Amino acid sequence: MKNPFSLFLEDYGTLIPDFQEYLVDLKQPLPLYYRINTLKTDLERAKGLLKRQGLQFRKTCFRELIRVKDQDSDSPLLSYHLGHIYPQALSSCLPVYALSPKGGEQVLDLCAAPGGKTTHMAQLMDDSGLIMANDRKLGRLTALMANIKRMGITNTIVTQSRGEHYKADFKFHKVLLDAPCSGIGRYRLDRQGRIRHMRPGKTDLPAIQKALITRAFDLLRPGGVLVYSTCTLNVEENEAVIHYLLQKRPAEVTSWQPPVPWSPGITEFKGKKYEKGVGLARRFYPHKIHSVGFFLARIAKC
């Protein structure tokens, strides 16, 4: 019996650009990135401290994100304990920049734990306005609250609720839905060709994602913006979910120009054709951006 990744390769071999390059890239370790937290320090001071701790790094397309070279130890750095850095994949920054939260806005992070995107949004908002950071699992809230505290953030309220049933007394300017997914964008292969970072389980993820995205959209005020993102390359968890929303709600996928190589959303898969707007979604492949594979769609409430 074929494993899920073999089936994935059969389905996507003709869809992923430079497919052989993708397969080669899967055998390489994922690069390590740190986001510098400018709420507690400035970029040059943070980089100076990291250098004194023996790190070598280089710039990326995001001014506060650095790519680390050959860290000798897995132990947390002093900079980490001080709240000066957050280990975060380059692709994890993309949904936050697509959402573009501003100071003074009311923002919802519907599936927030462990807090990488929540704390990044707070940073871009200069710790002003309001972020509601929600997660359904109590155990995951521990990490979320610890990261919020460590990063020195005060504009964020943490809530525990099933996202598809989330209730609020007001509508939000912006909502981020980084949905639970199969995580195929994180897959790596070991020397024996076995899959690493594979998530177990038989949950009907597309059904959960569709319920989450409709609730996220309903929590927006008119003219608001929703960003839907996943770290999977699965069309049924990505484009099919956006197609579902476009059919159920007055939603419009809007164009966004990422600072890294991207591919458009897939508009036809296994004989199914999706709404034209689905093509305005963005796909990010690991071998093109040197990070976790990602998908996102920026959606406006008409």
CA-based nearest residue to 253, from 269, 241, 236: 241
Q: How far is CA 185 from the centre of its chain?
A: 11
Q: Which backbone phi and psi does 189 adopt, to 5 degrees?
A: -115, 135
Alpha carbon distance 46, 53 (integer Å): 11
Q: How far is CA 1 from the centre of its chain?
A: 32
Q: Which backbone phi and psi does 10 adopt, to 5 degrees?
A: -65, -40
Query: What amino acid occupies position 2?
Result: K
User: Within 10 Å of residue 88's Cβ, how many Cβ atoms?
Assistant: 21
Contact criterion met (CB below 8 Å) for 284 and 293: yes
Q: Which backbone phi and psi does 70 adopt, to 5 degrees?
A: 55, 60
Catalytic residue flag (residue 302): no
Contact criterion met (CB below 8 Å) for 219 and 270: no
Query: What amino acid occupies position 141?
Result: L
SS3 158: strand
Instruction: State the pairing for strand pair 272-273/268-269.
Output: antiparallel
- Catalytic residue (choose from 61, 93, 231, 302): 231
CA-based nearest residue to 230, from 92, 34, 97: 92
Q: Hey, which residues are catalytic here?
A: 231
